[in-house]
Amino acid sequence: MQKPLLIKIVIIAVLMALIGIPLSMIQSTISERNAYRDQAVHSIAQDSVHEQGVIGPVLVVPYTDAYEEEQVLDVEKQTKKIVKRTIRKKILAFPNGLQIKGDVDTDHRYRGIHKVLVYRGQFAVAGDFLLPSLDNLPRDKTDSRITVGQPFVALTIDDVRGIRNIPVMQWNERKIEFEQGAGLDSIQAGLHAPVALDNWKAGLSVKFSFNIGLDGIQRLQFSPVAKNNVVTLKSSWPHPQFGGRFMPSPKDRKIDENGFAATWDISALATNAQQQLMTNERAANAPATAVAANHAPVSNLDHFSVGFIEPVNIYSQADRAVKYGLLFIALTFAAFFLFEMLKQLPIHPVQYLLVGLALALFFLLLVSLSEHIRFELAYLIASGACILLIGFYLSYVLRDWKRGFGFGTGLTILYGVLFGLLRSEDNALMMGSILLFSVLAAVMITTRKVDWYKVASPARADTE
């Protein structure tokens, strides 16, 4: 390789490395702005309500197990004493069937320029319990004395600040108002409704129903603790994000521009939620962990969720765009280099640098504009400004407006492809691979007859 060509390639490589510095600074700025947005979400959640998770309702029967046992005081003297022990216990009974129907509306809350999606839901809950037997409660000793306490229906809610009303439960023919606190050892947050012991018959089916209004931010979660769980949610939000261990039934899921409707139909055979909740209760009731285990969120149990989240995160989109920044600059510099070699029209390193900086500033323009207007419009304005600036500049650098227009057209195609990559994350690798292959093929076809030894030779420039 001739020395002038080698020097030119080295200079271009150094310029690309230098332009990588502002690109990394822009990427750092995007990360900081994304962190500010996360702080805004946290601030709104602290001031209003967090994400919501719901477990239950669950029928809880507390009781005490009292017995006496001998305790050895001195082995040598064989002194003993009788010690009375009373242990608090409870049994959990889960609904035989549980149906939840919810209508959820969404709104926005703002912290500065950042907006966060919040929701307001109204839920109708209904189902039935099969009353457990109170005659054969688990005990530590066969002669211990069992005293049954006040049974209650527990409903755990992650953030009780989101409860808008005081629910009243229809328990067979009775109406019972919910009270504060879930009453569980592992989860304190929530509500409970005390039920009477009179007319308690093992195996008796008791129907229940109540309505509850619940507010939250971004995500709503349920844990399927019933034998048969059917949860139906409707909302005007057209971009739900379903998550957790269970997806809504395909035949009962509809998503369009007017919102979504989805139904989850889950049986106890498909989930360990009941066992997980009982395990958490036993662990929280153990002396070693009774103080520490005072809260177990829904995420610790099998659950499903729906997210009310903006489909386009401008910072993740801008961050992905910056990752293509060096590729953009490399393609542009390669085009300059080929033009310079083939047309024998020298382009100064400073001109390389200015065009590279203009390409880098596109990404900063993109994130700053998208904080105030729609991402698509911000992309159009930022790319349009850069294309016009670079096309205008190159029409003078290359001494022909047609050449400047040609480079501007090429940049327009590149920005169009980049937008396609950003909008189609699932196909980004394939589209990026096709782009690189197409560029390489175009370069190889264009330069297939070029004698690079002659192009790089200073003698050629002298003879011409």
Q: Residue 30 has which token pair?
A: 């995007």
The whole-number average pLDDT for the span 238-267 is 89
Q: Check whether residue 173 and residue 93 sit in a common domain.
A: yes
Q: Are residues 187 and 319 in the same domain?
A: no
Residue 97 lies in a domain: yes
Total domain count, the chain: 2
Strands 152-157 and 52-74: antiparallel
Q: Does some domain include residue 46?
A: no
Residues 154 and 181 both lie in one domain? yes
Residues 104 and 30 in one domain: no
Cα–Cα distance, 55 to 59 (Å, whole number):
12
| Residues 123, 98 contacting (CB under 8 angstroms) | no
Asked if the structure places residue 80 within a domain, the reply is yes
Same-domain status, 80 and 20: no
Token digits of residue 215: 């507010």
Cis peptide bond N-terminal to 22, omega within 30: no
Same domain, yes or no: 7 and 88: no
d(CA 116, CA 51): 12
Boundary of a domain, candidates 308, 325, 357 = 308
Residue 459 forms part of a structural domain: yes
392 against 110, higher pLDDT:
392
Query: How far is it, in rounded angstroms, from Cα 168 to Cα 177?
Result: 4
Q: Are residues 218 and 303 in the same domain?
A: yes
24 within a domain of the structure (yes/no): yes
CA–CA gap between residue 123 and residue 259 (Å, rounded): 17
Domain stops at, among 264, 282, 308 = 308
Same domain, 29 and 59: no
- In whole angstroms, give the CA distance from residue 355 to residue 390: 6
Q: Would you state the pLDDT for residue 333?
A: 78
Express each pLDDT in 96-144 by its tens digit: 999 999 999 988 877 766 677 889 999 999 999 998 888 877 777 777 7
Supply the CATH number for residue 187's domain.
Answer: 2.60.40
For the chain, give the percent of residues with pLDDT over 90.
24
Whole-model pTM above 0.75?
Answer: no
Q: What is the pLDDT of residues 394-451, one digit of tens each?
A: 888 777 788 778 888 888 888 887 777 776 665 666 766 777 777 778 777 776 776 6
Q: What range defines the domain where residue 339 resides? A: 3-40+314-463
Q: Is residue 133 part of a domain?
A: yes
Q: For residue 285, what pLDDT band results from cuts at 50, 70 and 90?
A: confident
Q: Of 293, 308, 323, which residue constitutes the final position of a domain? A: 308
Residue-wise pLDDT for 38-96, tens only, equals 777 777 767 778 889 999 899 999 988 887 776 666 666 666 677 777 778 888 999 99
Same domain assignment for residues 181 and 235 = yes
Q: In one letter, which amino acid is 210? A: F
Mean pLDDT across the chain, nearest whole number? 81
Percent of the chain, pLDDT > 70? 85
Q: What is the model's pLDDT at position 296?
A: 44
Q: For 180-192, how does the pLDDT look when each residue is reduced to its tens digit (9 = 90+)?
A: 999 888 888 899 9
Q: Residue 45: inside a domain, yes or no?
A: no
Co-location of 325 and 385 in the same domain = yes
Is 333 inside a domain boundary? Answer: yes
Pair 163, 86 in one domain: yes
The strand pairing partners of 169, in sequence order, are: 176
What average pLDDT does this structure show over 378-401? 85
Q: Which whole number is the average pLDDT over 159-170? A: 91
- 26 with 120, same domain: the answer is no
What does the alpha-carbon distance between residue 347 and residue 339 come to, in Å, rounded to a whole number? Answer: 9
Q: In degrees rounded to 5, what are phi and psi of residue 345? A: -115, 105
